[in-house]
């Protein structure tokens, strides 16, 4: 239970942004797979999996005492949220382990999501540093966004009292573009950024044209560390 709550707090920026889009454009927050994959008829009858937005696939355990769960993965590249391990699906059922302390989550290729270091309450968590995760497509592109305000004031979107930031990866470079800034975003830092599906292994990583600390794992996960970037300012991360 504790792990599930901490996971929920860490994903708060994702959920908050999805609710903004629901308010501003009528988009769904949680959605069936058929919304994103209307040409895949296998998704029409799925009632035990769902997506958060278009990027995060949830495969929950709905029966007691089971050690694994079977989930359907539409054609494409999916990444384990926790490890970054890739799963290339042709449109098939996949057997997943189902430990008590883990909810099966997978990131869809081509997406970038903002997460936050969890704390004991949501209010405290909302001031914590952020960690961005980019799940690269086969051709190395990804995109995502973040909506952020003070969490209390009414109609921040209508009154332009919010921050809105767009993230993009293309040609081994990630850009964070601040389209709308506010004071609250200036209090938040981006501490780490992970990229899933980076190949080949990079020899050098730069942040705003300056060399940066990074690690690279055998499962093609690149993590750029010790950033301390102000969320309210544009930045660029490149690897080569």
Give the pLDDT confidence of 52-77 residue by residue, as tens digits. Answer: 999 999 999 999 999 999 999 999 99
Same CATH topology for 2-108 and 111-239?
A: yes
Name residues whose C-beta falls within 8 Å of residue 183's C-beta, 6 or more positions apart in sequence. none
Q: What is the pLDDT of residue 124?
A: 82
Q: Where are the domains of the chain?
A: 2-108, 111-239
Q: Which helix (H) or strand (E) holds 192?
A: strand 189-196
Distances (CA, A) of 41 to 1, 28, 46, 75: 35, 20, 10, 12
Q: Which two tokens stand for residue 89?
A: 């699906």
Residue 231 banded pLDDT, cuts 50, 70, 90: very high
DSSP class of residue 127? T
Q: Which two tokens stand for residue 230?
A: 């102000």
Q: Which two tokens stand for residue 37?
A: 């994959």
68-73 and 56-59 strand pairing: unpaired
Q: What is the pLDDT of residue 120?
A: 80
Q: What is the pLDDT of residue 125?
A: 82
Which one has a higher pLDDT value, 165 or 9?
165
- Confirm if 44 and 34 have CB atoms less than 8 A apart: yes
Residue 226 banded pLDDT, cuts 50, 70, 90: very high
Q: Which two tokens stand for residue 137?
A: 């497509």
Specify the pTM: 0.96
- Confirm if 23 and 155 have CB atoms less than 8 A apart: no
- Residue-wise pLDDT for 108-140, tens only, equals 999 999 999 988 887 888 889 999 999 999 999
Closest C-alpha among 122, 237, 117, 83 to residue 189: 117
Q: What is the pLDDT of residue 167?
A: 99
Give, in words, the CATH class of 111-239: mainly beta
- Confirm if 166 and 107 have CB atoms less than 8 A apart: no
- Residue-wise pLDDT for 180-212, tens only, equals 999 988 899 999 999 999 999 999 999 999 999
Task: Give the whole-angstrom CA distance, residue 161 versus residue 156.
Answer: 5
Give, in words, the CATH class of 2-108: mainly beta
Q: What is the pLDDT of residue 178?
A: 98
Q: What is the pLDDT of residue 118?
A: 87
């Amino acid at each position: 239970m504790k792990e599930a709550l901490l996971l929920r707090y860490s994903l708060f920026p994702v959920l908050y942004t999805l609710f903004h889009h629901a308010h501003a454009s009528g988009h769904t927050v949680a959605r069936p797979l058929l919304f994103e994959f209307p040409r895949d008829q296998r998704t029409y009858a799925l009632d035990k999996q769902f997506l958060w937005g278009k990027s995060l696939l949830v495969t929950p355990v709905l029966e007691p005492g089971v050690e694994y769960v079977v989930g359907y993965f539409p054609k494409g590249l999916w990444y384990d949220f926790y490890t970054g391990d890739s799963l290339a699906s042709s449109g098939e059922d996949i057997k997943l382990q189902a430990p008590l302390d883990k909810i099966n989550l997978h990131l869809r290729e081509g997406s970038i999501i903002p997460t936050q270091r969890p704390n004991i309450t949501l209010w405290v968590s909302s001031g914590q540093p952020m960690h961005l995760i980019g799940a690269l497509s086969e051709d190395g592109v990804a995109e995502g966004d973040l909506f952020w305000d003070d969490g209390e004031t009414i109609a921040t979107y209508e009154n332009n009292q919010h921050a809105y930031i767009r993230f993009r990866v293309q040609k081994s470079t990630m850009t964070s573009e601040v389209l709308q800034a506010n004071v609250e975003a200036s209090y938040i830092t981006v501490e780490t950024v992970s990229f899933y599906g980076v190949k080949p292994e990079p020899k050098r990583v730069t942040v705003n044209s300056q060399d940066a600390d990074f690690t690279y794992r055998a499962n093609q996960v690149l993590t750029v560390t010790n950033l301390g970037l102000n969320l309210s300012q544009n930045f660029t991360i490149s690897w080569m």
